[in-house]
Amino acid sequence: MAAVILSATGISKSFGGLCAVDGVDFALEAGEIHALIGPNGAGKTTFVSLLSGRITPDRGQITLGGEEITRLPAHQRVREGIAYTFQITSIYPGLSVFDNVALAAQAHGAKDLHAAVQAALQRVNMADLAAQQAATLSYGHQRLLEVAMGLALKPRVLILDEPTQGLASGEIAGFVALVRSLVPETTVLLIEHNMDVVMDLAQRITVLNHGQVLARGTATEIRANRAVQAAYLGVEDAEG
Q: For residue range 89-115, list pLDDT tens digits in order.
A: 578 999 999 999 999 898 778 789 999
Give the burial class of 219: count Cβ atoms within 10 A of its Cβ; 0-12 exposed, 13-18 middle, 19 or more buried. Answer: middle
pLDDT in tens, 65-78: 999 999 999 889 98
Does residue 219 sit within a domain?
yes
Query: Taken in order 212, 214, 220, 223, is the CA torsion positive or negative?
Result: negative
Amino acid letter, 179: V
pLDDT of residue 109: 80
**Within a domain: 202:** yes
To the nearest 10 degrees (0 to 180), the angle between helices 97-108 and 139-152 is 20
Predicted local confidence at residue 90, as pLDDT = 77
pLDDT band at 238 (very low <50, low <70, confident <90, very high): very low
For residue 134, pLDDT beyond 90: yes
**152 within some domain:** no
Domain count, the chain: 1
Output phi, psi for 158, to 5 deg: -110, 115
The answer to whether position 195 is within a domain reads: yes
Q: Is residue 220 part of a domain?
A: yes
Distance between CA 37 and CA 196 in Å, rounded? 12
Q: Find out whether 208 and 216 touch, Cβ atoms under 8 Å.
A: no
CATH number for the domain including 36?
A: 3.40.50.300
Cα dihedral sign for 135, 140, 143, 145?
Answer: negative
Full domain range(s) for residue 194: 1-72+183-235
Q: What is the pTM of this model?
A: 0.89
Tell whether 20 is covered by a domain.
yes
Average pLDDT, the chain: 89
Model confidence pLDDT, tens digit, residues 9-39: 999 999 988 999 999 999 999 999 999 998 8
The pLDDT of residue 237 is: 41
